[in-house]
Structure 1
Amino acid sequence: MEHLSTLDASFLQAEDSDPHVSLAVGGVSILAGPMPDYREVESALADRAHAIPRCTQKLHTHTFDLGAPGWVDDPHFDVGHHLHHVALPNPGDDAELFGMVASIMERRLDRDRPLWECWTIEGLSDDRWALLVKIHHCIADGIATAEMLAKLSDDGAGDTFATSIRAGREPKGDSLLGLLRPRLNPIDWMGDIWRATLAATSAAEHAVVGAVELTVRVLDATADSSLNGPIATMRRYSAARVDLTVMRRVCRDFGVTLNDVALAAITSGYRTMLLDRGEVPGPHALRTLIPVSMRSADALDVADNRVSAMLPLLPVDEPDPIRQLEIVHARLEEAKGSGQREGGSAVFAAAGNIPFALTAWTIRLLTRLPQNSVAALATNVPGPRGRRRMLGREVLEILPVPPIALHLRTGIAMLSYADRFYFGVTADYDSAPDVDALTRGIEDGVWRLAELGSLRGGTASVAIP
């Protein structure tokens, strides 16, 4: 049996702690029409699902959490339990599609079966249809989920932007044994041991400092806005669409990264939302959970979670767009250098050495407690570099769908696909009826930076991750 890691299982325990939460992630592929016959769709998806192990495996859990849950083949697997078909009411535009996506995603997956569903959605305007794939977060993080979804397409996995992320570019760290290469001179052996020891000590200190900093951020209950609070069961969904070439031009004009531009646009969108609500955005109103991939390039298709986190404050109190971008860039650089990324990863690695029952009960207890320090989630998922096809139809767009939990009333997932960049926003139905204003604010934020960059005549260049 293949067991879940402590991080994988934490998504199950977080879901257990709140009956209003469904911790499934989703991806909506919008395709050119006409939609194929449903029996053709069902047959093709069934064949492709059988080639993905997690699609035919279910959870095996232990009484009182005496052992980590594991993946076992489902002897009664029936793809009919996982494939569904719905049609949108007229006129079939974004409002109807987004409402359907929210309704599907808010319902929990059945833990007695493999933890995924696939919904075909017909009736979109302009001769289009959609495919929504829903996967529990305990199976995979954003990158691994994107790789799984890609395997359902006609082209297979293919090339993605994931190879450009930091973890994917970094060489594997040398182990102590790896550093002790065959030497003729014993003095060289001692030198290798000394260098390896110093490197290990430095890395450990960096991780400890980062873990402490993350803990302080989580315990610092200074968030003061309507973005944080209890959530109900119903959801809303919306999406923002931006040209990737425009974002890259902003990167060049201001000498920042693509992630900086995206988070600055998110900052602008939240500021607009809060002002429209009659709130004065404070400097501590938008501490944001930013998952950071720890996945190496040779593990892109491994179905599990390999992420850490950073918790920067986004400058929602700053009205000037350029200044917002500068602050976002500076704070992300500070967070990267502080060891938060390494610290979060080290915490979960250490938790793997503790008896599973203790970690499971602890996570359930902690996730039941109201947290008032973090107000939003912003996760960036690298998508396919080139255009994809599904059942012979072109995939026009891919919209990411994040979950929300832990008193976060909104969550944003970003995904790059070919020449477009998408922001998918999931929100609590009751406390965030203005989710469309947030996505419009994000789009406006990117365009304002593009216009200001053109006026500024920026010439700085930067390697886009």
Structure 2
Amino acid sequence: MERLSAFDAGFLDAEDADPHISLAVGAVSVLEGPVPSQDDIVTALAARILAIPRLGQVVRRAPFDLSAPQWVADPAPDLAHHIRRAALPHPGDDEALFRFTAEAMESRLDRERPLWQCWIIEGLPRGRWAILMKVHHCIADGIAALHMLSGLCDGGEHTTYVGAIQPAHQPDPEAARRLSLNPIRWAQDAWSTASAVASTATTTLVGGIEILDSLVRPSDDSVFNGPITSMRRYSAVQVSLADALTVCRTFDVTLNDVALAAITDSFRAALIRRGAEPRHHSLRTLVPVSVRPADAMNRADNQVSVMLPYLPVDESDRLEQLRAVHRTLTRVKAGGQRSAGSTAVSIVKSVPFAVASRVIRTVTALPQRGVVALATNVPGPRDRLRLMGHDVVRMLPVPPVALRLRAAVGILSYGDDLVFGITTDFDAFPDVAELADGIADAVADLTRQAAGRVPPPGDQVGG
């Protein structure tokens, strides 16, 4: 018998706190045609899907939530409840695909069945078709979900860029080698350890205060923060990963810096379109940070901490935006927000479930006004995938929106592309396509500025 951790179950609690949200993560894979028949698709996917335990299990909650929910085998498995088919209206362009994606992600997954859904989408141009895979966040975070979904493709799991993204906390591999029988060395090590623990505790405390402050202090401009409706908009754009890495090498920044700088510039333009003045504190952004160790990449659960930096929308120059993002993230990484987030998750996992569940429900129901957007970076497959012998030519991330954050940006590296998928509240962002175009324009401009300069060797994929 397996139980959900309080942290994983918290995504169910957060969903329950707002009837207008669905906390499912998604990915759209566009494939070369022709589209197989429904029977062929079900036959091909059935064995692969059912080989993933979580996709054949349902959540069963205890009475009054006195104990953690259980994962139990679906008593009546039927893939017809999960694998569905749809056709886009002519001409089946990106606008139609994005509209369908938004509508498919709006509805909540049926908790009486395994928490996933798969849409086979026909009618794309050039004889192509697509698969939209939708999985509840209580099953997996972005990295685990990508490993899970890539495992459905031909050849099973594939090499991803995840090796270049280091977890937030790693054990010191040299610690065991520094053992000594010298009592003076013991005293020195004890003092160093005590100092390190005190320093870490102080840093974590400061980080915790920063997180709490961000949740209770309203942003300078709350146009992107507020109640969320039940309808969504979606858009996506892809840029050259090679171009982005050239920017990284030229200006000595990370890929995550480049992505967040492009998001900064696009959201700055969105503020200006709304007649709002972009200020330093206008765009505090929730940036999830993986704390997943290398030996747990295949584990279906959530292992993340958070950073809550202000993205520099008050800066108009794109190169200065990039440098400001790099400085901000460097400072935040060196601070205690990630440690505080990890500590909070550990505390949630260690206290009785009934207590943790009620705390999570209370906190997620509060109208936080300090954080206004989400940006999550998921390292995807390095090589192009194939499914049922068909090339996956595009892969688009689909993040959820919740907790009064009306816009969420998923960042995915896939093959030679860096892809941005943007989910927004329908009423708050009629300009979601302009958000996507603004990100592409910012990356293109940074690439032009990097042209002609001689970058140092190597590349920086980490974030």
Q: Per the alignment, in what secondary structure is the counterpart of residue 133 of structure 1?
A: strand
Residue of structure 2 in register with 1:172 after alignment: 171
Mapping of 1:48-447 within 5 angstroms? 48-167=48-167, 171-173=170-172, 195-447=192-444
Number of aligned residue pairs: give it.
461
**Secondary structure at 1:252 match in 2:** helix
- Secondary structure, counterpart of 2:242 in structure 1: helix
- Kindly, what percent of the aligned residue pairs are identical? 50
Offset of residue 28 of structure 1: 0.5
Aligned-partner Cα distance in 1 for 2:164–2:248: 16
Residues 246 and 447 of structure 2 are in contact (CA less than 8 Å); yes or no, is this contact kept in structure 1? Answer: yes
Tell whether 2:22 aligns with 1:26. no
Paired residue secondary structure (1:426): strand
1:238-289, CA deviations, whole angstroms, 9 ceiling, x for partnerless residues?
A: 0011000010111112111110000000011111122222222222111000
Q: Is the contact made by 1:180 and 1:192 (CA closer than 8 Å) also made in structure 2?
A: no
**Deviation of the 1:367 alpha carbon:** 1.5
Asked if 1 retains the 8 angstrom alpha-carbon contact of 2:240 and 2:416, the reply is: yes
Cα deviation, 1:342-363, whole Å, max 9, x if unaligned, reads 1101011012222222221122
- Give, in angstroms, the shift of residue 209 of structure 1: 2.5
Equivalent AA in structure 2 for residue 459 of structure 1: P
Aligned equivalent of 1:459, options 450, 455, 458: 455
Post-superposition Cα deviations, 1:150-171, rounded to whole Å, max 9, x if no partner, equal 1110021111001111118x75
Q: 1:173–1:111: structure 2 CA closer, same or farther, 3 Å change rule?
A: farther
Deviation of 1:297 (Å)? 1.1
CA apart distance, 1:386: 0.6
Give the Å deviation of 1:46.
Answer: 0.9
Whole-angstrom CA distance in 1 between matches of 2:274 and 2:456: 37
CA contact (8 A) 1:290 1:377 kept: yes
SS of corresponding position for 2:245: helix
Query: Where do 5+ consecutive residues of structure 2 fail to align?
Result: none
Residues 270 and 316, structure 1, Cα contact 8 Å, conserved in 2: yes
Q: Residues 365-401 of structure 1, C-alpha deviation per residue, up to 9 Å, x if partnerless?
A: 2212211111100000000001110010000011000
User: Tell me, what secondary structure is at the counterpart of 2:126?
Assistant: coil
Q: Is the Cα–Cα contact under 8 Å of residues 221 and 276 in structure 2 kept in the other structure?
A: no
TM-score, normalised to structure 2's length?
0.95
Letter of the aligned partner of 1:282 in structure 2? R
State how far apart, in whole Å, the 2-side matches of 1:364 and 1:392 are: 45
The CA distance in 2 between the partners of 1:208 and 1:442, in whole Å, is: 35
Contact 2:219 2:283 in 1 (8 A): no
Structure 1, gaps ≥5 residues long: none
Does 360-369 or 399-408 show the bigger shift?
360-369
CA contact 2:398–2:422 (8 Å) conserved in 1:
yes
Pairwise CA distance, 1:199:
4.0
Measure, in 1, the Cα distance between the counterparts of 2:329 and 2:189: 34
Report if aligned partners of 2:383, 2:414 keep a CA contact under 8 Å in 1. yes
> Are the counterparts in 2 of residues 253 and 460 from structure 1 also a CA contact under 8 Å?
yes
Could you tell me whether the CA contact under 8 Å between 1:15 and 1:21 is conserved in 2?
yes
Cα distance in structure 2, aligned partners of 1:56 and 1:95: 33
Return the alpha-carbon distance in structure 1 between the equivalents of residues 415 and 174 of structure 2.
37
Query: Alignment partner of 1:126: what SS?
Result: helix
**1:3–1:70 contact (8 Å) kept in structure 2:** yes
